[in-house]
Amino acid sequence: MWYQRTVFYEIYVPSFCDSNGDGIGDLQGIISKIPYLSELGIKGIWLTPFYPSPRVDNGYDISNYYDVDKTFGTMEDFKHLLERAHEYGIRVIIDVVINHTSNQHPWFLESKKSKENPYRNYYIWEEKPKNNWESFFAGSAWEYEKETNEYYYHAFSKEQVCLNYSNPRVKEEIFQVLKFWLDLGVDGFRFDVINFLKMQRDKWPDNPYENGKQLHKYDKNQPGILKFIEELKSFVSNWNDKFLLGEIGEDYLEDMLPYVGKEKLDACFNFNIGSIENFDLKKIYEELVKCEKHQIVPTLFFSTHDMKRHFSRLCKEQVNHAKLLAFMMLTLKGVPFLYQGEEIPTKDFRPKSIEEIQDIQGRLWYNNAIKQGFNKEEAFALAYQNTRDFSRSLLEWKDEDLNEDFYQFYQTMIAFRNENEILQTGNYDFIALEDFVLSYRRTSGNQSITFYLNFGETEVLLPKGYQKVLGTQEESEVLKPMNAVALCLGKDESLKL
């Protein structure tokens, strides 16, 4: 399917490109950057939520699934965006948040009015908090609502209320939402925290603790979720060629595997590779081998709007290191996802005070810490550790921010992938790690390319008889530290460079 041949680019709508100077990204800004993305070689974009929303969590709190938030533009802008992207051969997948809605969504406004309201059962209400579950952000997952003297369940902030999938009407509503956007021509969906859906109302045991931290054991992956995913897949297959990508909120590949497959999602975000905290080549290697063993096509990324940028986090802002990671992402088997600005490259934003922390997760940590008696400095330190603002500052698109050489390197690597089928769908002959040198060979038909990436501090001898196809250094018998090459046995005239 087309997605396996596509280099994607994540657009975090509020901070990608601001066309009207209000300090917030918007759809017109995105439209203006389509030629730029096309020149970079991008063939698919993932748009984070742009629907009407109080934007407590920057749009991951939807109050109307059928429109565009005024801050970002209009429905006409969205249609125009889709048309422009398609004209440039760029497919568009959109984020849908179906685990929860905003507390300002009309369904919830109705639901909280009375216990008899027809929408009551769209959400999860209890007389008392049913268990000890904590929100994935901070604090209790149960919120008291005085109108009906009951508590409702929210896995994230209290303004993001979890839908109740044990009610069949909720599923029907959500399928209508998908239909609406599919009919408009979107190319697929990124499903937010799709393994968190609450499929049943009984068996909600307390979550266990480890080292004082709650483990989210029972509030995800509930029985019934896989059947729902299959229904989703079968529903969407009424439209041709749509890409279903899931955010499975898990760090271990084993926990993601059940969600991906022919009758399920096409792919998921491989946090087992992408969200490593420090650069760890052995871990990356082991996870790649594991993906191969399970015959799963991984998504290839090291940055998203939920984590620190890998240029700062993994590469310590060293351009050579970042080039090596780009070389890796764009030559491995899988589906690459760039995060906006990484091609420039962009550094992390580091908030200096609580006023500079905008992310709800950071702010909740701060408020909770203050409530628990920490002083302001300690509370800020906790907020700093947990906030996701690092990767969310507005891109300014100033010429002086662009490192031409770095950008062109991305462009060359993406073109190399786009032009050569072997890089898109070719299999591995081997993947190996020796000291700090990662190598792999990809083959397709009678084509074969071997890749060497030297993350170490000493040069290594390259095998004899090979010719350089592409890389970060001149043709040589040795691979220098922090360099990478792609080699072919003899000259392969069929490769497009």
Catalytic positions are 192, 247
Tell the smallest beta-carbon distance from residue 467 to ligand NOJ (Å).
Answer: 43
Structure tokens at 290: 């594991």
Nearest residue by C-beta to ligand NOJ? 60
Q: Does 193 bind ligand NOJ (CB under 6 A)?
A: yes
Residue number, 69 or 247, with CB nearest to ligand NOJ? 247
* N-terminal to C-terminal alpha carbon distance within the chain: 24
Q: Does 339 bind ligand NOJ (CB under 6 A)?
A: no
d(CA 487, CA 440) in angstroms, rounded, equals: 11
Q: Does 390 bind ligand NOJ (CB under 6 A)?
A: no
Binding flags for ligand NOJ, 231-260, as an x/- string (CB under 6 A): ----------------x-------------
Residue number, 160 or 222, with CB nearest to ligand NOJ? 160
Q: Does 192 bind ligand NOJ (CB under 6 A)?
A: yes
Tell the smallest beta-carbon distance from residue 158 to ligand NOJ (Å).
Answer: 13
Would you tell me the crossing angle of helices 376-386 and 360-371 to the nearest 10 degrees? 150
Under DSSP, is residue 465 helix (H, G, I), strand (E, B) or coil?
Answer: coil
**Residue 153 near residue 124, CB atoms below 8 Å:** yes
d(CA 164, CA 153) in angstroms, rounded, equals: 9
Residue number, 193 or 326, with CB nearest to ligand NOJ? 193
DSSP-derived letter for residue 400 is G
DSSP-derived letter for residue 351 is -
Q: Does 3 bind ligand NOJ (CB under 6 A)?
A: no
Residue number, 95 or 343, with CB nearest to ligand NOJ? 95
Residue number, 247 or 348, with CB nearest to ligand NOJ? 247
Compute CA 454 distance to the chain's CA centroid, rounded to the nearest angstrom: 27
d(CA 309, CA 347) in angstroms, rounded, equals: 7
Tell the smallest beta-carbon distance from residue 111 to ligand NOJ (Å).
Answer: 19
Binding flags for ligand NOJ, 400-439, as an x/- string (CB under 6 A): ----------------------------------------
Q: Does 143 bind ligand NOJ (CB under 6 A)?
A: no
Structure tokens at 43: 């063939």
What would you report as the CA-atom Rg of the chain, rounded to the nearest whole angstrom? 23
Tell the smallest beta-carbon distance from residue 153 to ligand NOJ (Å).
Answer: 14
Cα 105 to Cα 110, 163, 348, distances in angstroms: 9, 11, 33
d(CA 310, CA 348) in angstroms, rounded, equals: 9
- Residues contacting residue 305 through CB under 8 Å, at least 6 positions apart: 10, 12, 48, 339, 388, 391, 392
Q: Does 271 bind ligand NOJ (CB under 6 A)?
A: no
Peptide bond connecting 14 to the previous residue in cis, omega within 30 degrees of 0: no
Residue number, 108 or 452, with CB nearest to ligand NOJ? 108
Tell the smallest beta-carbon distance from residue 99 to ligand NOJ (Å).
Answer: 7
Residue number, 260 or 470, with CB nearest to ligand NOJ? 260
Q: Which residue type sits at 205? A: P
Tell the smallest beta-carbon distance from residue 269 to ligand NOJ (Å).
Answer: 9
Q: Which residue type sits at 217? A: K
Nearest alpha carbon to residue 152 among 97, 89, 106, 109: 109
Q: Which residue type sits at 79? A: K
Residues in 10-69 that interact with ligand NOJ by CB under 6 A = 57, 60
Tell the smallest beta-carbon distance from residue 388 to ligand NOJ (Å).
Answer: 7
- The Cβ of residue 139 has, within 10 Å, a number of other Cβ atoms equal to 16
Token pair 């100077």 is found at: 21
How many residues in total does the chain contain?
497
Residues in 203-222 that interact with ligand NOJ by CB under 6 A = none
Residue number, 362 or 471, with CB nearest to ligand NOJ? 362
Q: Does 156 bind ligand NOJ (CB under 6 A)?
A: yes
Tell the smallest beta-carbon distance from residue 167 to ligand NOJ (Å).
Answer: 20
Q: Does 97 bind ligand NOJ (CB under 6 A)?
A: yes
* Number of helices and strands in the chain (H, E): 15, 22
Binding flags for ligand NOJ, 285-324, as an x/- string (CB under 6 A): --------------------xx------------------
Residues that bind ligand NOJ (CB under 6 A): 57, 60, 97, 156, 192-193, 247, 305-306
